Amino acid sequence: MTTAEQAPPPPMRLRELVFGAACAAAVRAAARLGVADALEETPMSVEDLAAAVKTQPQTLRRLLRALSCQGVFVEQPDGAFAHTEMSRLLREDDPHSLRYIALWCTEPWTWNVWPKLDEAVRSGRNVFEDVYEREFFEYLNEEAPESAYVFNRAMTTSSEQSARDVAALLDLGGVSSVADIGGGQGQVVASLLEKHPGMHGTLLDLPGVVENADARLREGGSLADRVRIVPGDCREDIPVQADVYIIKNILEWDDDSTRRALANVRKAARPGARVVVIENLVDDTPSMKFTTSMDLLLLLNVGGAKHTRRSMADRLTAAGLVIGEVRPVNAYLHAFECTVPA
């Protein structure tokens, strides 16, 4: 068969494309119903699966068939369904689980902002504040506890997976204090403190986030006596002294917020301090990257963007930081090693 015969014709491809929301909704439904968690290692009949997740068998079959077309689950000749590599990633107990990321990317608020993408492209601004009349993180932490929970779990699971890579990459010999700015619930700080028993750490994030910090960092936790938890807004102030500041996956919002956060790091840090900025970078070339969709979502919710190596470097230089090495942390993340000049 030739490639031309394999690829569906353009009208069919475009028809499928405009139903992208159906794919996202199907993945969300499977994640919310816990289908991947209920499906055992051996194939299961739809009836057994429906009983396990408390749905109608006929409609569950339709959901599973829609997902199987995308490679999430596979239908067997006898009509039973089995796992695929992708469906396993929807399990909560998978070590590389994307369950909360899948839920996060399809939370109810996303369905209210996607239809306004043309407006955001026209204005270059977020549309979230037009729809919800509040900044995104304010809304999340003050008005949408379920979405905030999903967001924090999504960040925590992806951070748990990358925290060890960050700890392995950074040379922290001789460093006595590290601060993670916008550090979420503290997985990176916890990994660093576990690896370096003499070191102290600070975790700064919004109040609603740090109040649920990683159990290791909270009172009675194994690292509690070496960590300071600072609830705050890094655009307002960073009242933290440290040898090394980590800023991971937060400089993806609007430029003014990036400028204010970096200015506050500079104000807090002594000359010679290290600032390690860790981000998913998109390419400068026209090749497709998986982060493209997230780039658009960041435009919609915070008026932000995924950075290229150049755009990130420009912002760090504009903040007066001296950029040293830029190294991959893993397949997704890059670390910019910067220094605060004298």
Which secondary structure element, helix H or strand E, spans residue 324, and what is its range? strand 322-328
Q: Please, what's the b/e burial string for 251-289 (b: 16 or more CB within 10 A of its CB; e: otherwise)?
A: bbbbeebbebbbebbbebbeeebbbbbbbbbbeeeeeee
* Cα separation, 201 vs 223, whole angstroms: 9
User: Whole-number minimum distance, CB 184 to ligand SAM, in Å?
Assistant: 3
* Residue 278 host element (H or E): strand 274-282
| Contacts for 124 with CB less than 8 Å, ≥ 6 apart | 303
- Give contact residues for ligand SAM (rule: CB under 6 A): 137, 155, 159, 182-184, 205-206, 209, 233-235, 248-250
CB 128 within 8 A of CB 302: yes
Name the residue nearer to ligand SAM (CB basis): 81 or 136. Answer: 136
- Of 43 and 183, CB closest to ligand SAM: 183
Task: Give backbone dihedrals phi and psi of 265, rounded to 5 degrees, phi first.
Answer: -65, -45
> Token pair for residue 185?
């619930």
CA–CA dist 278, 289 (Å, integer): 18
Q: Which residue, 73 or 139, has its beta carbon nearer to ligand SAM?
A: 139
Of 147 and 249, CB closest to ligand SAM: 249
Taking the complex as a whole, the smallest distance from the CB of residue 185 to ligand SAM amounts, in Å, to 7
What DSSP string describes 177-237?
EEEEET-TTSHHHHHHHHH-TT-EEEEEE-HHHHTT--TTTSTTSTTGGGEEEEE--TTT-
Q: Which is nearer to ligand SAM, 45 or 177 (CB)?
A: 177
Give 66 or 302: the residue with its C-beta nearer to ligand SAM: 302
> In the complex with ligand SAM, which residue's Cβ is closer, 36 or 281?
281
Q: How far is the CB of 229 from ligand SAM (least distance, A)?
A: 12
CB of 155 to ligand SAM, least distance (A): 4
The CB-of-195 to ligand SAM minimum distance in angstroms stands at 17
Instruction: Rank residues 27 and 297 by Cβ distance to ligand SAM and give the closer one.
Output: 297
Shortest approach of ligand SAM to residue 96 CB, angstroms?
A: 15
The DSSP code sequence of 3-23 is HHHHSPPHHHHHHHHTTHHHH
